[in-house]
Amino acid sequence: MNRMIRIAAAAALALTFGGAFAQAAAINGEVKKIDEGAGKITLKHGPAKSLGMDEPMTMVYRVKDPALLKQVKVGDKVKFEAQEGDGGYTVTAIQKAK
């Protein structure tokens, strides 16, 4: 019984810290342009520490999944996650900011 409680507590702790890390990687931005044909989105955003960007800027990003572009429209305030790869920066997740 004690072992199950310890495992459950460890899982809860991992989920708590995992959520904090995911939130820390989120970047605040605004959608400026969507190019569904090219699978790209232009985002004006603040500092993106997870990408090594200390200054606010506007950039064109590829999207990992073109379906992400259907979740937002030009002018939306968003939170997104991105990663750097060989071909530049790619948005891996995006959602409207609350």
Structural domains counted in the chain:
1
Q: Considering the domain boundaries, does residue 45 fall inside one?
A: yes
Q: Identify the CATH number of the domain in which residue 35 sits.
A: 2.40.50.320
Q: Considering the domain boundaries, does residue 34 fall inside one?
A: yes
Q: Considering the domain boundaries, does residue 81 fall inside one?
A: yes
Query: Could you report the per-residue pLDDT of 12-33, keeping only the tens digit for each?
Result: 544 444 443 344 579 999 999 9
Residue range(s) defining the domain that contains residue 72: 27-96
Q: Considering the domain boundaries, does residue 74 fall inside one?
A: yes
DSSP letter string, 41-98: EEEEES-BGGGTB-S-EEEEEEESSGGGGGG--TT-EEEEEEEEETTEEEEEEEEE--
Query: Could you report the per-residue pLDDT of 41-88, keeping only the tens digit for each?
Result: 999 999 998 888 999 999 999 999 999 999 999 999 999 999 998 889
Q: Considering the domain boundaries, does residue 72 fall inside one?
A: yes
